[in-house]
């Protein structure tokens, strides 16, 4: 869902760029006190994994593919603030080194996938966690459902940007409907991959998963 | 850091490299969701060529040979770049926090 240059006009791109920069600054402030010798390399590994996983486009319908965004995966593994920073770095690396996502659209892409999808998706995960049992299967499912939802958040965020400052003569309502339709399929893939990876890490090292309840909580 | 955590990080990095340098060769080259919408809704032609389209890693392809090795190498290099920038940024953030002012 990487927006190229030209889809969204420059004033709108600049506005979302400012919002994305503010979000990154806020996330860095919130993350600063959490960064210990364990979390920094874990965040690096999470960023590298999200970058790698985003390379794997899977077919979702005739002539269409999708790939993991990884926003909720990152947030569940390293927490929402560090997770959002992780996603921001991935998107900037893709735009600057890999010509994936336009340079003028980096703020749009960071806003959609690193901020809105990450923070709202993590909020959804926390809500599901409170009502589901504290088991590995339930936590994995909560991550998967939240991850699928986060894809829809990012799709709607693009639709909003297109409605505000889209170039071309497409009808914003039709664009929104099409974005929701195609990304509903991609969301299923996002959910399955996220649930699988979160489940695997929970089984190996539950203590390294930010979104897992601490042992005291789990028994309480 | 304890040895178990180091082992976890090492295994995670190995899996990540296999995904970037191996699985990536099997990725679908069909348009993604946003590209599909832009084609169906008739605004795909608004996209400008990326300003850095000539960069060495553009489109996840080193060398432009299209034989798979270029993609695998680009993926592995990308993993390295992403890892180094993330760790560097967070390390600097922690250092700034420790020495305020």
- Residue B30 confidence (pLDDT) above 80: yes
- The beta-carbon neighbor of B42 closest among A92, A168, A185 is A168
Of the candidates A97, A104, A176, which has an alpha carbon nearest to the alpha carbon of residue B48? Answer: A104
Measured between beta carbons, which residues in chain A are less than 8 angstroms from residue B85? 47, 89, 92-93
CB contact under 8 A, A45 and B90: no
> B40 to chain A, minimum CA–CA distance in Å?
8
CA distances from A51 to A56, A67, A215, B31, B78 (A): 10, 11, 31, 18, 7
CB B34 within 8 A of CB A112: no
pLDDT of residue A208: 95
CB A124 within 8 A of CB A145: yes
The two three-digit tokens of residue B89, written as one number: 């940024």
Give tens-digit pLDDT for A103-148.
999 999 999 999 999 999 999 999 999 999 999 999 999 999 999 9
pLDDT of residue A83: 98
CB A193 within 8 A of CB A58: no
pLDDT of residue A217: 54
* β-strand partners of A66: A58
> B70 to chain A, minimum CA–CA distance in Å?
13
State how far the Cα of B36 lies from the Cα of A111, in Å rounded to an integer.
21
Of the candidates B40, B70, B1, which has an alpha carbon nearest to the alpha carbon of residue A42? Answer: B1
pLDDT of residue B13: 98
> B64 to chain A, minimum CA–CA distance in Å?
13
CB B47 within 8 A of CB A5: yes
Collapsed DSSP state (helix, strand, coil) of residue A35: coil
Q: Name the residue with tokens 């190498």.
A: B73
State how far the Cα of B14 lies from the Cα of A16, in Å rounded to an integer.
36
Closest chain B CA to residue A63: B30
Q: Give the mean pLDDT of B30-46.
A: 97
Average pLDDT value over all residues in chain A: 96
pLDDT of residue A220: 37
Instruction: Count residue pairs from A and B with Cβ separation < 8 A.
Output: 218
Of the candidates A74, A176, A142, which has an alpha carbon nearest to the alpha carbon of residue B82? Answer: A74
Average pLDDT value over all residues in chain B: 93
Measured between beta carbons, which residues in chain B are less than 8 angstroms from residue A185? 33
The ranges of chain A with pLDDT < 70 are 215-220
- Residue B44 confidence (pLDDT) above 80: yes
State how far the Cα of A55 lies from the Cα of B13, in Å rounded to an integer.
16
pLDDT of residue A51: 98
The alpha-helical segments, DSSP class H, found in chain A are 10-32, 39-54, 71-78, 80-97, 106-109, 117-131, 136-165, 172-204, 215-219
Give tens-digit pLDDT for B49-72.
999 998 999 999 997 666 788 999
pLDDT of residue A193: 98
pLDDT of residue A219: 43
């Amino acid at each position: 869902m990487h927006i190229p240059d030209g889809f969204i006009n420059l004033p709108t791109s600049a506005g979302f760029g400012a919002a994305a920069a503010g979000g990154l600054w806020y996330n860095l402030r919130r993350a600063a006190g959490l960064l210990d010798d364990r979390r920094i390399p874990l965040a690096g590994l999470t960023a590298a994994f999200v970058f790698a996983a985003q390379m794997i486009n899977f077919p979702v319908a005739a002539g269409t593919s999708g790939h993991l965004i990884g926003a909720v995966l990152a947030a569940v593994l390293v927490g929402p603030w560090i997770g959002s920073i992780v996603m921001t770095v991935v998107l900037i690396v893709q735009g600057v080194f890999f010509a994936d996502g336009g340079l003028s659209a980096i703020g749009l892409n960071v806003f959609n996938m690193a901020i809105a999808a990450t923070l709202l998706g993590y909020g959804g995960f926390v809500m599901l966690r409170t009502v589901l049992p504290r088991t590995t299967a339930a936590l994995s499912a909560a991550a998967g459902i939240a991850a699928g939802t986060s894809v829809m958040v990012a799709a709607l965020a693009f639709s909003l940007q297109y409605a505000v400052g889209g170039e071309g003569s497409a009808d914003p309502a039709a664009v929104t409907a099409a974005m929701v339709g195609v990304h509903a399929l991609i969301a299923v893939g996002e959910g399955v991959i996220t649930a699988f990876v979160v489940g695997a890490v929970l089984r190996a090292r539950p203590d390294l998963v930010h979104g897992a309840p601490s042992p005291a909580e789990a028994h309480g | 850091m304890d040895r178990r955590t180091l082992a976890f990080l090492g295994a995670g990095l190995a899996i990540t490299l296999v995904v970037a340098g191996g699985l990536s060769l099997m990725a679908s080259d069909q348009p993604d969701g946003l590209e599909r919408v832009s084609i169906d809704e008739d605004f795909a032609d608004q996209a400008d060529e990326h300003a850095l389209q000539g960069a060495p890693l553009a489109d996840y392809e080193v060398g432009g040979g299209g034989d798979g090795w270029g993609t695998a190498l680009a993926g592995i290099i990308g993993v390295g770049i992403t890892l180094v920038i993330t760790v560097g940024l967070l390390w600097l953030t922690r250092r700034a926090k420790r020495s305020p002012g």
